[in-house]
Amino acid sequence: MFNIQKVDHFPEITREGRVSEELQAIVDCLTASATNGERFCIEGIEAGNAYNSMQQRIRAQAKKLGYKVIIRFDKNENKLYFKATSATGSAKVPTGVVASDAGATTAKRTAKAS
């Protein structure tokens, strides 16, 4: 049954970002890459939406951490390769930092004024 009621209050929108194991692994790899020059590969990434989504997540975390990132995709092997370098010459986030401490969230959006 459809029911509409008049209310006296309107709930605030609250978004609490959660940090998944996948996101934490990305942050850890980016930090290791920027600190030690290591390169990483994610296997099983399909060309198209899966590749675009993962690439966007890696780039977003790299930006939050202050790193430059290079991403390459091998469509024959379905592997996404990436490496990070510090944009300032030294790592911005020390080793052992968890994604939530680095400002990583999965549900945060910022609206732009036009």
Domain ranges for the chain, please list them: 21-86
- Residue 15, SS3? coil
Helix (H) or strand (E) holding 57: helix 49-65
- Condensed to tens digits (0 to 9), the pLDDT of residues 17-33 reads 666 888 899 999 999 99
Determine the topology of domain 21-86 in CATH. Answer: Translation Initiation Factor IF3 (3.30.110)
The arithmetic mean of pLDDT across residues 90-98, rounded, is: 48
Is the pLDDT assigned to residue 102 strictly greater than 60? no
Only one residue has tokens 């790899």, namely: 29
Is the pLDDT assigned to residue 93 strictly greater than 80? no
Contacts of 46 (CB under 8 A, 6+ apart): 78
Dig out the tokens for 14 from the structure: 């609250």
- Condensed to tens digits (0 to 9), the pLDDT of residues 36-85 reads 999 999 998 888 888 899 999 999 999 999 999 999 999 899 999 999 99
Task: Give bridge partners of residue 82 from the DSSP assignment.
Answer: 40, 71
